Amino acid sequence: MRAVFLDRDGVINKKPPEGEYVISWEGFKFLPRVPEAIRRLNELKILVIIITNQRGVALGYLTEKKLNEIHQKMLRELKNLGALIDAIYYCPHDKGTCLCRKPEVGLFLQAKKDFPEIDFLSSFVVGDSRSDIEAGKKLGCKTILISPGLKEDDTNNLPSPHFIAADLAEAVEKFIAKII
């Protein structure tokens, strides 16, 4: 079964400035067209799974309880808009201290354990950073880099994604074009 693995910050919600973290629901702002894009994947019976590094927990900016509250509110808001997320996996650790923080693939392997029907080779990873793309490539997934204003042929200093998109909605359209 195909899955689309989404990063959170910078794909689902507005990414905070470098060194800052989403530490409350008030700081969580959906990016444009996100619910519609997720709903489109739901219509196609594609698993939608969030895989996110949440270093702010390790640094003490928020607790795992608070992070889970933010995720539950996000899920409720999306559900109210007809968009469903099948699962969320997060790494609360600091850099270099675990095997679950992207670009490591521990969270993806956990998702595969929970959803054994996932076929990585027919799945996509959508993210806004090098670590997202590297993780996807390790698994054999197709990768889409979210980078507003960047063109497909403007790949200097990038982690060589399979595709580049301005936002999640465009990424979903590229995904659909590839599978149909």
Which pLDDT does position 178 carry in this prediction? 86
Each residue of 151-176: b (16+ CB within 10 Å) or e? Answer: eeeeeeeebebbbbbebbbbbbebbe
Q: Is 9 a catalytic residue?
A: yes
Q: How confident is the model at residue 149 (pLDDT cuts 50, 70, 90)?
A: low
pLDDT score of 148: 76
Q: Provide the pLDDT for residue 154.
A: 53
Active site residue 119: no
Average pLDDT on 87-91 reads 99
In this prediction, residue 150 carries a pLDDT of: 58
Reported pTM: 0.94
Nearest Cα residue to 62 out of 108, 99, 114, 9: 9
**pLDDT number for residue 111:** 99
Binding residues for Mg(2+): 7, 9, 128
What pLDDT, on the 0 to 100 scale, is given for residue 101?
98
pLDDT for residue 155 is more than 70 = no
Q: Which residues are annotated as a binding site?
A: 7, 9, 91, 93, 98, 100, 128
CATH architecture of residue range(s) 3-179: 3-Layer(aba) Sandwich (3.40)
> What is the model's pLDDT at position 4?
98
Kindly name the residue from 9, 86, 119, 154 that is annotated as catalytic. 9
What are the binding residues for Zn(2+)?
91, 93, 98, 100
Q: What contacts 24+ positions apart, CB below 8 Å, involve 139-146?
A: 139/105, 139/108, 141/5, 142/175, 142/178, 144/171, 144/174, 144/175, 146/7, 146/10, 146/11, 146/171
Average pLDDT over residues 85-91: 99
Least confident of 20-29, 89-98, 102-111, 151-160: 151-160
Q: What is the mean pLDDT of the chain?
A: 95
From the list 7, 153, 154, 167, the catalytic residue is 7
pLDDT of 179: 83
pLDDT of 17 higher than 70: yes
